Amino acid sequence: MELVLAGDLAEMVLHQGPLGQMKIGAVGGWNNTGIPRWYFIQSKDDTNNPMTDPDIRGGIDGLTLARNIMTWQSQASGLRLSEVLDLYYSETGLFQNRFRACQRKNNFAGVAPSSEMEPQTTSFAVVLDPQSLTPALLSYNIISNYSSVASRQLVTYV
């Protein structure tokens, strides 16, 4: 799992874990369906949530592209990033029909396996903890437990 999702989960672990209120996903909507620029969060309670729906989608997309780009480059050596993005966010997809933005849910377990998600979230949170604005440092065991809960919540949410 890469830094984006692990980092967002680590923030959630440190800021929401001690409160017993870890929440994944902040429901909202885009300002425009044709050319979306701003995502508005419905509930004021979700404004400090590090795991909004666009964050999750972007993290999954980034992981999918990062984990597969070398294979795609070997299949089409002249492939440009603009073409990769165009195909990924279109109905066409990349090489196999399964690599499309609308297939995030189906690709999630392959690009962010639970066996990687928990330890990376724990490691990220341990490093981030002294830098965070929380009132006290958390022990490794507590961070590890919260990371396990947060990772399972993300898998369930996706």
pLDDT in tens, 20-69: 888 888 777 888 877 878 888 777 666 567 788 888 899 999 999 988 88
Residue 3 scores a pLDDT above 80: no
pLDDT of residue 9: 92
Domain boundaries, the chain: 3-12+27-157
Return the axis-axis angle of helices 53-75 and 3-16, rounded to nearest 10°: 160
pLDDT of residue 131: 81
pLDDT of residue 41: 79
Around 157, how many Cα atoms within 13 Å sit in the side-chain half-sphere?
A: 20
CA distances from 57 to 14, 104, 114, 123, 155 (A): 22, 7, 17, 22, 13
Q: Which tens digit of pLDDT belongs to each residue from 81-127?
A: 898 898 898 887 777 778 888 888 998 988 888 888 899 999 999 99
pLDDT of residue 45: 67
Query: Are 137 and 94 a contacting pair, CB within 8 Å?
Result: no
- In this prediction the pTM is 0.81
Residue 71 scores a pLDDT above 60: yes
Summarize the confidence of residues 121-141 as an average pLDDT: 85
* Cβ contacts of 103-110, under 8 Å, gap ≥ 24: 104/57, 104/60, 104/61, 104/64, 104/158, 105/158, 107/60, 107/64, 108/60, 108/155, 108/158, 109/155, 110/67
